[in-house]
Amino acid sequence: MSKNLKQPKVTVVGAGNVGATTAQRIAEQNIANVVLVDVAAGIATGKALDLSEAAPVELHDRSIIGGADYNATKDSDVVVITAGIARKPGMSRDDLLKTNANIVGSVAKEALKYSPDATFIVVSNPLDVMTYLTKQVTGLPANRVIGMAGVLDSARMRFFIAEALNVSVQDVTAFVLGGHGDSMVPLARYSSVAGIPLTDLLPAEKIEAINKRTREGGIEIVNHLQTGSAFYAPASSSAEMVEAIVRDRKRVLPCCAYLNGEYGLKDIYVGVPVKLGAGGVEQIMEIKLTESEKAELQKSADDVKANMDKLNQLMSASV
């Protein structure tokens, strides 16, 4: 009987470190079958085969195939876009804008041809703008185009809190709003350890140090690696979002979502808490913010909007 049941299928575009590790997480957590696509067919095919050969050890029967042909991606439930160049030391996410806009726009349109009903998760940087671009080029409704940022940024903050307090990460919750960049908004008021507010556990200066490290979490890793950027935590964060969608979990997660008046912001992608399920973003969760928090979120949104304007200028110039 199980053979007649449709197995969930996820396409991961980009077989670099983030894409290949995302494919690994999805398969080994038994979330879905995976198609790994890359312009370098041999890399996608080789990594898919390597992951498949690990299956007997990892004890899963998920299909993992790779290549450059989008035919294999047909009827995917979710498409995860990781394609693009990674940051290098001294490079901001904004520096990636033009190069990655061309790559992301192209692969998004190609994936849509074969999976018109899929939900798209964008991981490529600069993330908020690439998510906006994906919505523009695919014409998909906003609930089916989501950026992976808040889950990652919140995970980083959760780790830093757990490290500071010497407690298990399992007991730590944290929320980070805003754009995936230097002006993101870590919210200490909505962060806690086993329900105890973070503000009751750490002094303000230590909380601010955690906030700063959270904002700089990506570049801290880039500076250590020198030749690449983070991929384990981004892959885990992407897999968590995929799992929420394909299993209709109704998870409340901070994601890069399209706002159309929520939080006083309109026609912009920015990180906010959402309910994530089979319908993609099924609800934007509006939480109460203080005036200073609102101002920080507005500043972050303004930074995203500035990059969106740059993108629109680039797109107009290329027409």
Active site members? 180
Q: Cα–Cα distances in Å, from 18 out to 15, 224, 260?
A: 7, 17, 30
- Judged by DSSP in three states, 168 sits in coil
The residues near 52 (Cβ < 8 Å, ≥ 6 apart) are 63, 64
- Cβ within 8 Å of residue 56, ≥6 positions away: none
Closest listed residue to residue 80, CA positions, set 240, 217, 227, 219: 240
Residue 190 CA to residue 237 CA, distance in Å, equals 20
Asked whether the beta carbons of 64 and 37 are under 8 A apart, the reply is no
Please give the helix or strand (H or E) that residue 66 lies within, else none: strand 64-67
Identify the CA nearest to 258 among candidates 138, 147, 154. Answer: 147
Say which residues have a Cβ less than 8 Å from residue 158's Cβ, sequence separation at least 6.
169, 172, 173, 174
The CA–CA distances, whole Å, from 302 to 96, 295, 319 equal: 18, 10, 26
**Which residues, at least 6 apart from 102, have a Cβ–Cβ distance to it below 8 Å?**
none
